[in-house]
Chains A and B, each alone.
Chain A
Amino acid sequence: MPLNAIELAKLFHDKNPGITPGHRMCPGCAAPNVVKFALMTAIAKGYHPVVGLATGCLEVSTTIFPYTAWNVPYIHNAFENVAATISGVETAFRAAKKRGEIPPDKKLAFFAFAGDGGTYDIGLQSLSGAVERGHKFIYIVYDNEGYMNTGNQRSGATPPGSDTTTAPVGKQIPGKLQLKKNIVEIMAAHENVYVATVAISEPIDFMKKIEKALEFDGPAFIAAHSACVRFWRVNDDKAVESARLAVETLYWPLYEVERGVYRVTKKITNPKPVEEYIRSQGRFRPLLSRPDAKEIIEELQQYVTSRYERLLALEEITKDKPLRGPWAKEDFQTDEHAM
């Protein structure tokens, strides 16, 4: 079902996208937009969102006691366990529903938001476990490519050559040496899952994917490009632009994988060179003054190009070949129980 634009506009107008203004994220940070697109879609589709957050910028800046920017039920437990935590909430919901404590037609949508550190690194086990178990929840990583809350340290999501405090660009070493971990493919490999990448520069694509995730009969994982204006060293009006550039340079391809079936949702016919993306952000400036900058950028260019080609090929060969059938968990659960 297409999203109701009037309903969305009303939600925006009423300032009820689940998260209110007045939080303490840096002005221009992309992360709150990621939250808004996700929750607005859910609310517009008649769901009551319940939100779990991992420790990180978004969490610390939206809930300093006694204030909270959340007007939907919210839980922050710790850094590495948002998936396990929301799996507990979702299970409690199923238990309550089974026992008739919740109206059968009430639709709740369970969201887990985490940064890249809380997802690629310390939270990977908890995430993998929750997805493998098949909980009905939507996990959204707002990927700002570093531990920003603690002041820009390297994570498994940090791109090569980016200047961070734990892998700084030095006289000897050109910053982080490794490419980004491919979290999307790791999550897609769980097979019984809907996985997608999104960017705030493509709101319709973003919200359609959330809609799909809501209606998917199993867990969903969404990776959102999420500029950190502070540590990427870009102006605070550049978050959307940097998302757009990421998409246009193939740095952040927009695609989805539904039970193994790939679909590139935005085809880029004339990609811009990835160097344009690199040059637009201050975090790469120290790299650019090094003699080996060209090589490092070239390596990244080759990587993004071949990854994109591979995605197109996967789209072709996985067409109509889902890896698993729909989640059939409910089928073997009976409503009657001998006590």
Chain B
Amino acid sequence: MPAKQALTGAEAIAYAMKQINPDVVAAYPITPQTPVVEYFAKYVADGVVDTEMIPVESEHSAMSACVGAAAAGARAFTATAAVGLALMHEIVYIAASLRLPIVMAVANRALSGPINIHCDHSDAMAERDSGWIQLWAENVQEAYDFTVMAYRIGEHPDVRLPVMINFDGFIISHGVEVLETLDDDVVKSFVGKPIKMYSLLDTEHPVTYGPLDLYDYYFEHKRQQIEAMKHVPKVFKQVAEEFEKISGRKYDLVEEYMTDDAEYIMIALGSTAGTIKHTIKELRAEGKKVGLVKPWVFRPFPKFELQRILNGRKGVIVLDRSASFGAEAPLYEAVKSALYEVAVRPQLGSYVYGLGGRDITPAHIRQAFEDAFKGYLIADEERYLGLRE
């Protein structure tokens, strides 16, 4: 029987991992991720799981150990944030290129400098071209659900890629919400046994991982990674469909909220979608035709879904919780590029918000929508919400 529990996002992810009982967890503390590994370490210490935990001396080693473990056929998990993810950077790419379905939870936090512990998306955005699947949770429930789904997506033979579960630092990681958890045995049979391929422990069939790969093959291998990413939407949908059967909760590449008749659509990742939904309800009460599109999957980028949804709308407002110095903000850039190909392009506006944990309020969201109502969206102008100029 599904149970209602009040948990923080960090605890919910640890709880899902407890139900999955992975082979190896290697992690290093960093705010606001730390409680994920703390909760999990307690499960290990209490013998609730039989996972082997590696309390590594750095995030670089956390990802390195996950690579070694996954290459040895283990289900490996880690969690990090911000500079911890940045320290892993080199190995984040290697994990994807070795096609190792590691799962990593990222409690999104601003990258230094200056050092800041609060939420923004600069950490994950710096890894967006690393070859990891990126899932983005809006709340504790989604963080839990994605954790349950992650290995099924990453380990699929057509995919074999690592999966990053993004959940906003503090807002989701430390915020307590009531969520519905599944039974242990339901999760266990949903996740199933890992499909072991080319394990380093299979000494009868020795394999070489990570050879020097020069101009005569590297390019083909990159092409294979590109192709593997293309298989993700199909696999994600399959896994989501199965997940709906056990949970009643429906996932897709993007979530649409009140978009059917919407003239103006806002796009955002993560927890801010909750604030936007609240504001949309208010605006709808005032007769405004507004809606939200929230990518659940950011890598691979759900281009076709966005094209289908956004084609012909009056205005599209993209909210980014990270900046790209000297270029357009990452989500905006991707949406804008997708809209190049649609028949009837909407007006487009870019809004950067919430850097370093700066609060975002319904008033800010309303302000951006109001720009759109006035026809005052300029595709080539980056605006800022909640910033003192």
A77: chain B residues within 8 A (beta carbon): 64, 67-68, 91, 94, 209-210
B51: chain A residues within 8 A (beta carbon): 95
Q: Which residue of B lies closest to A60 (CB)?
A: B212
Fill in one digit per residue for B49-93: 1 if any A CB lies within 8 Å of its CB, else 0. Answer: 111101111101110111111111110100000000000001100
- Tell which of A74, A78, A94 touches B52, judged by Cβ atoms closer than 8 Å: A94
**Complex interface residues of chain B between 174 and 228 (CB less than 8 A to chain A):** 184, 199-203, 206-214, 216-218
Whether A92 and B74, one on each chain, are in contact in the complex, defined by CB atoms closer than 8 angstroms, is yes
Q: Chain A contact residues (Cβ within 8 angstroms of B): what range?
A: 35 or more
Whether B65 and A87, one on each chain, are in contact in the complex, defined by CB atoms closer than 8 angstroms, is yes
- Tell which of B23, B64, B73, B217 touches A85, judged by Cβ atoms closer than 8 Å: B64
Q: Which residue of A lies closest to B62 (CB)?
A: A84
Cα–Cα, bound, A87→B76 (Å) = 13
Distance (whole angstroms) from the CB of B197 to the closest CB of chain A: 13
Cα–Cα, bound, A86→B200 (Å) = 10
Whether B210 and A75, one on each chain, are in contact in the complex, defined by CB atoms closer than 8 angstroms, is yes
Cα–Cα, bound, A126→B210 (Å) = 19
A92 touching B206 in the complex, CB below 8 Å, given contacts A64-B212, A80-B60: no
Whether A126 and B68, one on each chain, are in contact in the complex, defined by CB atoms closer than 8 angstroms, is no
Whether A132 and B57, one on each chain, are in contact in the complex, defined by CB atoms closer than 8 angstroms, is yes
Cα–Cα, bound, A83→B67 (Å) = 12
**Complex interface residues of chain B between 104 and 133 (CB less than 8 A to chain A):** none
Distance (whole angstroms) from the CB of A248 to the closest CB of chain B: 36
A84 touching B64 in the complex, CB below 8 Å, given contacts A64-B214, A75-B200, A92-B24: yes
Cα–Cα, bound, A63→B212 (Å) = 6
Interface centre among B52, B55, B203, B207 (most CB of A within 10 A): B52
A63 touching B211 in the complex, CB below 8 Å, given contacts A91-B54, A108-B203, A125-B57: yes
B201: chain A residues within 8 A (beta carbon): 50, 73, 89, 92-93, 96, 102, 108
Interface centre among A81, A92, A129 (most CB of B within 10 A): A92
**Complex interface residues of chain A between 129 and 166 (CB less than 8 A to chain B):** 129-130, 132-133
- Tell which of A52, A59, A128, A129 touches B212, judged by Cβ atoms closer than 8 Å: A59
B266 at the interface (CB under 8 A from A): no
Q: Which residue of B lies closest to A86 (CB)?
A: B68
B21 at the interface (CB under 8 A from A): yes
Distance (whole angstroms) from the CB of B216 to the closest CB of chain A: 8
Fill in one digit per residue for A54-73: 1 if any B CB lies within 8 Å of its CB, else 0. Answer: 00000110011111101111
Whether B74 and A96, one on each chain, are in contact in the complex, defined by CB atoms closer than 8 angstroms, is yes
A126 touching B23 in the complex, CB below 8 Å, given contacts A63-B212, A64-B212, A91-B52: no
B326 at the interface (CB under 8 A from A): no
B47 at the interface (CB under 8 A from A): yes
A89 touching B200 in the complex, CB below 8 Å, given contacts A64-B211, A76-B210: yes
B76: chain A residues within 8 A (beta carbon): 88, 92
Whether A129 and B208, one on each chain, are in contact in the complex, defined by CB atoms closer than 8 angstroms, is no
B26 at the interface (CB under 8 A from A): yes
Q: Chain B contact residues (Cβ within 8 angstroms of A): what range?
A: 35 or more
B363 at the interface (CB under 8 A from A): no
A89 touching B68 in the complex, CB below 8 Å, given contacts A78-B91, A84-B56, A337-B49: yes
A307 at the interface (CB under 8 A from B): no
Whether A87 and B214, one on each chain, are in contact in the complex, defined by CB atoms closer than 8 angstroms, is no
Cα–Cα, bound, A64→B47 (Å) = 44
A78 touching B94 in the complex, CB below 8 Å, given contacts A63-B212, A65-B217, A99-B50: yes
Cα–Cα, bound, A214→B264 (Å) = 67
B49: chain A residues within 8 A (beta carbon): 337, 339
- Tell which of A88, A90, A128, A339 touches B184, judged by Cβ atoms closer than 8 Å: A339
A85: chain B residues within 8 A (beta carbon): 64-65, 67-68
A334 at the interface (CB under 8 A from B): yes
Distance (whole angstroms) from the CB of A328 to the closest CB of chain B: 17
Whether B208 and A87, one on each chain, are in contact in the complex, defined by CB atoms closer than 8 angstroms, is no
- Tell which of A63, A75, A339 touches B68, judged by Cβ atoms closer than 8 Å: A75
Whether B72 and A88, one on each chain, are in contact in the complex, defined by CB atoms closer than 8 angstroms, is yes
A48 at the interface (CB under 8 A from B): yes
Distance (whole angstroms) from the CB of A260 to the closest CB of chain B: 22
A73: chain B residues within 8 A (beta carbon): 199-203, 206-207
A98 at the interface (CB under 8 A from B): yes
B200: chain A residues within 8 A (beta carbon): 50, 73-75, 89, 92
Cα–Cα, bound, A77→B24 (Å) = 18
B48 at the interface (CB under 8 A from A): yes
Cα–Cα, bound, A303→B191 (Å) = 60
Whether B64 and A70, one on each chain, are in contact in the complex, defined by CB atoms closer than 8 angstroms, is no
- Tell which of B57, B62, B69, B94 touches A89, judged by Cβ atoms closer than 8 Å: B69
A338 at the interface (CB under 8 A from B): yes
Distance (whole angstroms) from the CB of A192 to the closest CB of chain B: 15
- Tell which of B47, B65, B184, B210 touches A84, judged by Cβ atoms closer than 8 Å: B65
A50: chain B residues within 8 A (beta carbon): 72, 200-201, 203
A338: chain B residues within 8 A (beta carbon): 47-48
A81 touching B61 in the complex, CB below 8 Å, given contacts A88-B72, A91-B69, A92-B24: yes
Fill in one digit per residue for A91-116: 1 if any B CB lies within 8 Å of its CB, else 0. Answer: 11111101100100000100000000
A64: chain B residues within 8 A (beta carbon): 211-214
Distance (whole angstroms) from the CB of A124 to the closest CB of chain B: 11
B72: chain A residues within 8 A (beta carbon): 50, 88-89, 92-93, 96
Whether A78 and B64, one on each chain, are in contact in the complex, defined by CB atoms closer than 8 angstroms, is yes
Whether A81 and B207, one on each chain, are in contact in the complex, defined by CB atoms closer than 8 angstroms, is no
Whether B211 and A95, one on each chain, are in contact in the complex, defined by CB atoms closer than 8 angstroms, is no
Cα–Cα, bound, A8→B257 (Å) = 70
B56: chain A residues within 8 A (beta carbon): 84, 87, 129, 133
Whether A129 and B58, one on each chain, are in contact in the complex, defined by CB atoms closer than 8 angstroms, is yes
Q: List 25 A-B contacts (CB under 8 A).
A: A48-B203, A50-B203, A63-B208, A65-B218, A68-B211, A73-B206, A74-B200, A74-B207, A76-B209, A77-B68, A77-B210, A78-B91, A84-B65, A85-B64, A86-B68, A91-B24, A93-B72, A96-B23, A96-B73, A96-B201, A125-B61, A126-B60, A126-B61, A334-B47, A338-B47
List 4 additional contacts besides A73-B200, A73-B202, A73-B206; criterion CB under 8 Å: A91-B26, A93-B72, A95-B23, A108-B203
- Point out residues on A near B: beta carbons under 8 Å: 48, 50, 52, 59-60, 63-68, 70-78, 80-81, 83-96, 98-99, 102, 108, 125-126, 128-130, 132-133, 334, 337-339
Closest 3 CB pairs of A and B: A88-B68, A129-B57, A88-B65
